[in-house]
A and B are shown apart, each in its own frame.
Chain A
Amino acid sequence: MSRLTRLIPWRQTPATLIAASLVVAGFLLMSVSWWFLVLVGLGTFGPGVLRELGWLRDKDEWQQRAAHRAGYHAFLVAGLLATVLMAYFRSGDRMVRNPQELATLFMVLLWSTWFFSSLFSFWGAKKTAMRVLLAFGGFWMVFIVAANTGTEWQGPVGLFMSLLLAVPFFALAWLSRRWPRIAGVLLLVAAVFFFVRLGMHDVSATDWIDRAVLIVLFLGPLLGSGIALLQVGAGEDEADAA
């Protein structure tokens, strides 16, 4: 196993590789039965449980502290959401579509909070924000190109104009390295803008749970990056841990 892990350019422990395999297998087999989602859970949370029990010692003290911090952040965010939802459901007769998706919402919120908190620990706020924004810009461009095929073809000018919408993401990525606090404010403004523009503020709609999942996945990274950038001190040089 150690020979195999040495072939991989980035250092990952055997436990992490096994866990990742379980997650991938679980996702692939979910089309056969939803019970294979349990494999995803085992892969995601199993190593952490083993580490807390002291049966797995593959992380050093810094990595353990980063994991504990990320877990605490996920607890805080999920706890806040749980409180709001309890108040919401108990304050009136609520009709929502797909209530079982509440579990999905919590899973997505927990995982994404833990994931981005870990990234901020490993890369620092500026590098994480820059990479998040580059990823957003890149995905947007891929989406536009893919959407402009076949009968949807808008012509080269139309395609170019659509691709220009990715420019703000790349501009913010550059800004986050030079002026992080300004970029942080702009990211928060962008998050609010998309929240309203995409109609995600309408919680009276019965499909607000599905919208909430989109909020977490789409706006969460922007919001998290914005908040993290606001906390970057003047002249602070980010740790280049990766």
Chain B
Amino acid sequence: MKPRHDIRNNLRRYRLLADGMTQQDLADRVGVTRQTILSIEKGKYSPTIGLALRLAREFEVPVEDLFELDEENN
């Protein structure tokens, strides 16, 4: 389910900065499965707006800090 348009994310970086939070911990906090977090971090899946906002709120950062367009491929 690779996204057609390229979006980069810094989810893994923010997750590890949060005292080494595990994928399962993050998944539990935002109400999804670990598979979803894994797929987002690997760039295989772009979350819905709602999930992106929940993730941003979890790390207390703007959503643009977590997700950005890949300028090289756009």
Contacts and interface: CB of A to CB of B under 8 A. Distances in A.
A63 interface: yes
A60 B48 CA distance: 11
Contacts of A241: 35, 38-39
Contacts, number: 36
B39 A61 contact: no
B33 A65 contact: no
Determine the main DSSP class of B at the interface with A: loop
A11 to B, nearest CB: 7
Interface string A53-86: 0000000111101100100000000000000000
A239 B35 CA distance: 9
Identify the interface centre among A60, A62, A69, A242: most chain B CB within 10 Å of its CB. Answer: A62
Given A62-B39, A239-B38, A239-B39, A11 B33 contact: yes
B42 A62 contact: no
Contacts of A65: 1, 45
Interface in B9-36: 31-33, 35-36
Contacts of A242: 35
Given A121-B1, A239-B44, A63 B36 contact: yes
A11 B28 CA distance: 13
Contact of B51 (A61, A121, A122, A124): A61
A62 B45 contact: yes
A60 B31 CA distance: 8
A60 B35 CA distance: 10
B47 A61 contact: yes
Given A66-B1, A69-B1, A121-B1, A61 B36 contact: yes
B24 to A, nearest CB: 10
A17 B4 CA distance: 35
Contact of A237 (B1, B35, B42, B47): B42
Interface string A93-112: 00000000000000000000
A240 B47 CA distance: 18
A60 B39 contact: no
A2 B35 CA distance: 20
A105 B39 CA distance: 34
A65 B35 CA distance: 12
B1 A60 contact: no
Given A122-B35, A239-B38, A241-B39, 4 more contacts: A60-B31, A62-B39, A65-B1, A242-B35
15 contacts: A11-B33, A60-B32, A62-B39, A62-B45, A65-B1, A65-B45, A66-B1, A121-B1, A122-B35, A124-B44, A239-B42, A239-B44, A241-B35, A241-B38, A242-B35
Interface of A: 11, 60-63, 65-66, 69, 121-122, 124, 237, 239-242
